[in-house]
A and B are shown apart, each in its own frame.
Chain A
Amino acid sequence: MNDNKYKVVRNEMIAPGTYLMTISGDTSEIKGPGQFINIKLDGLYLRRPMSICSYGDDEMTMIYKIVGKGTKAMSRMQPGEEFDALSPLGNGFMIDEIPECAFLIGGGAGAMPIYTLAQILRDAGKKPHVIIGFNKEKEIFFADEFKELGVDLTIATMDGSSGVKGTVVDALLEVRETAMDKNGLKTENRQIYACVCGPEPMMKAVAEHSDAGQYDLGARMACGFGACMGCTVITKNGPKRVCKDGPIFRQEEIIW
């Protein structure tokens, strides 16, 4: 973890209320998707945590939704503006544990760490199946980017205006057999392994239908680096800090 200075390169609305921000600055310590940064914003005391969606040599991208003062202030930032952020924080997905055919499932603005995850798994020769869920067609973003990755993609919308009608769970139930057939999984290996980012009720619903996996838990945070016990989640292995021991937790340790 360092306190790094980042410069806004790009900051634009990609769906109603949802923004994509690309920043330049140090990315050398980032280990992988699922990690986050904690941003200092003028006039706000606590920093605001944001997932790292994708990253390169000296750039990274975040996707965020306006929900309050801090995210509103972020949406007003112009290219060239600078801010400080503690980075990188958290453990990130445990990539080595992800099997050949995993379902990468995301809902809404918080879903995007799975983009980079999909990319990494694809590059490692694995065949992830991505499922992303939105309320309606107009709110869909990043579908083209996922298609360009060349991974299997299923979109779910609550109102059915695009893709499968319903939640990501509906989509998972609809596509799981064909996805596993396609990957030639034998009956005894037909386990659903899910890597999930999104709102908690959605993650919980996915967990009810999957055999194993990794989940990106959220929490109200103060420090973001493990000092305050503000973000504790009680797991089957006792109390854990979402910011430091997570935010990615294995399905078997989560108590929903």
Chain B
Amino acid sequence: MVDTSVELCGIRLDNPVIPASGTFGFGREFAELYDLNLLGSIAFKGTTADPRNGNETPRIADCSAGMLNSVGLQNPGLEAVAAEEIPALAEKCGKPLIANISGFSVEEFVRCAEVMDRCEPVGFLEVNVSCPNVHAGGRNFGTSAEETALITRAVKKVTKKPVFIKLTPNVTDIASIAKACEQAGADGISLINTLLGMRIDIKRRKAVLANRMGGYSGPGIFPVAVRCVAQVHDAVRIPIMGMGGISSAEDVIEMIMAGATAVQIGAANLVDPWACKKIIEELPILMERLGINSLSEICGIA
């Protein structure tokens, strides 16, 4: 029997497959379809201090190898997530959960981290730095190594739980940003968030998304994600959760060979709600075929 388990910051996961934030809600819809305890963990919807209604619609555009979204972090807000969503999710999934938090200021990240630190079912914090900083003219936190490090330090101060910083690929040198996170005390790196993209409806001569631009995800970004994970793996010693376009067990193995310890599945859940379950079932069979006994032996091997 092959061993699909992985260890992430001292926490053992039965397998490395985790639904990515924003593509799994708070698990409710999927719990009707399969047992969520099959999953390695769950990264739930990006949570902000206050409730957010998100961006104008249309928020979705199709691309042949993926999709654009400009959901804009719609979520019920920190209080409701901590009081209602997390307990409900924990009933369906007993795994250490991943709390994905977002903010538009350092203070907001800290507030979210403080509350998530007190939520017992939360095993990890995942800090989404791909948000505009309202105090810096709307520039993305995640595009600056200094600001990303600042958030990392601030969040680390208020929690004992392992903190993963989730990086945006929309930068020139992702390795240097990952390094800055490591130096600031991050316990791990999640990557990649979506690539900034845009589609135009040529008949209406207008952007398809009301927000004009949105995040590109799905199979089309897989090679970019594999490259980013490999670059970050070369640069840091902390563990990586790799994601971006994964839609099969083969992709999982490839991402782990690039340097990921665990992987997240995003858009694939939206087109096939059973995607994670299928990948988890396929993984040991594929490992056997490839002569892999445990995933740690191939991490970063390429």
- Are B269 and A227 neighbours in the complex by a CB distance under 8 Å? yes
The answer to whether the Cβ of B297 comes within 8 Å of any Cβ in the partner chain is no
The answer to whether the Cβ of A47 comes within 8 Å of any Cβ in the partner chain is yes
- Are B57 and A219 neighbours in the complex by a CB distance under 8 Å? yes
The answer to whether the Cβ of B58 comes within 8 Å of any Cβ in the partner chain is yes
Contact with A along B42-65 (1 / 0, CB 8 A): 000100000001100111111111
The answer to whether the Cβ of B91 comes within 8 Å of any Cβ in the partner chain is no
- Are B67 and A45 neighbours in the complex by a CB distance under 8 Å? yes
Binds A, one of B154-162, B229-237, B270-278, B281-289: B270-278
Please provide the chain A residues from 170 to 196 with a CB less than 8 Å away from any CB of chain B in the complex. Answer: none
- Are B57 and A228 neighbours in the complex by a CB distance under 8 Å? no
* Given known contacts A3-B272, A227-B24, A228-B23, A239 and B54 CB-to-CB distance under 8 angstroms: yes
- Are A228 and B53 neighbours in the complex by a CB distance under 8 Å? no
B211 CB to closest chain A CB (Å) equals 12
Contact with B along A218-230 (1 / 0, CB 8 A): 0111110111111
- Are B53 and A239 neighbours in the complex by a CB distance under 8 Å? yes
- Are A40 and B271 neighbours in the complex by a CB distance under 8 Å? yes
- Are B53 and A46 neighbours in the complex by a CB distance under 8 Å? no
Q: Which residues of A lie under 8 Å from residue B67 when comparing CB positions? A: 45-46, 222
Q: Which residues of A lie under 8 Å from residue B61 when comparing CB positions? A: 220
* Given known contacts A45-B67, A227-B30, A227-B269, A220 and B58 CB-to-CB distance under 8 angstroms: yes
A94 CB to closest chain B CB (Å) equals 21
Distance of A165 Cα from B272 Cα, bound (Å): 46
A44 CB to closest chain B CB (Å) equals 6
- Across the A-B interface, how many residue pairs have beta carbons closer than 8 Å? 93
- Are B54 and A44 neighbours in the complex by a CB distance under 8 Å? no
Q: Which residues of B lie under 8 Å from residue A43 when comparing CB positions? A: 64
- Are A3 and B274 neighbours in the complex by a CB distance under 8 Å? yes
* Given known contacts A227-B24, A227-B30, A232-B53, A220 and B269 CB-to-CB distance under 8 angstroms: no
The answer to whether the Cβ of A244 comes within 8 Å of any Cβ in the partner chain is yes
The answer to whether the Cβ of A63 comes within 8 Å of any Cβ in the partner chain is no
The answer to whether the Cβ of B74 comes within 8 Å of any Cβ in the partner chain is yes
- Are A227 and B270 neighbours in the complex by a CB distance under 8 Å? yes
Please provide the chain A residues from 1 to 32 with a CB less than 8 Å away from any CB of chain B in the complex. Answer: 1, 3
Q: Which residues of B lie under 8 Å from residue A239 when comparing CB positions? A: 53-54, 74
- Are A45 and B54 neighbours in the complex by a CB distance under 8 Å? no
- Are A231 and B274 neighbours in the complex by a CB distance under 8 Å? no
Chain B residue, CB-CB nearest to A234: B53
Distance of A233 Cα from B59 Cα, bound (Å): 11
The answer to whether the Cβ of A101 comes within 8 Å of any Cβ in the partner chain is no
* Given known contacts A1-B33, A45-B218, A46-B67, A227 and B273 CB-to-CB distance under 8 angstroms: yes
* Given known contacts A40-B271, A228-B71, A228-B270, A45 and B64 CB-to-CB distance under 8 angstroms: yes
- Are A222 and B25 neighbours in the complex by a CB distance under 8 Å? no
B46 CB to closest chain A CB (Å) equals 10
Please provide the chain B residues from 50 to 97 with a CB less than 8 Å away from any CB of chain A in the complex. Answer: 53-54, 57-67, 69, 71, 74
In the complex, besides A45-B67, A221-B60, A229-B45, 6 extra interface pairs with C-beta distance below 8 angstroms are: A225-B273, A226-B25, A227-B273, A228-B22, A230-B60, A239-B74
- B residues whose Cβ falls under 8 Å from a Cβ of A: 22-25, 28-30, 32-33, 45, 53-54, 57-67, 69, 71, 74, 208, 218-219, 267, 269-274
- A residues whose Cβ falls under 8 Å from a Cβ of B: 1, 3, 40, 43-47, 86, 219-223, 225-234, 238-239, 244
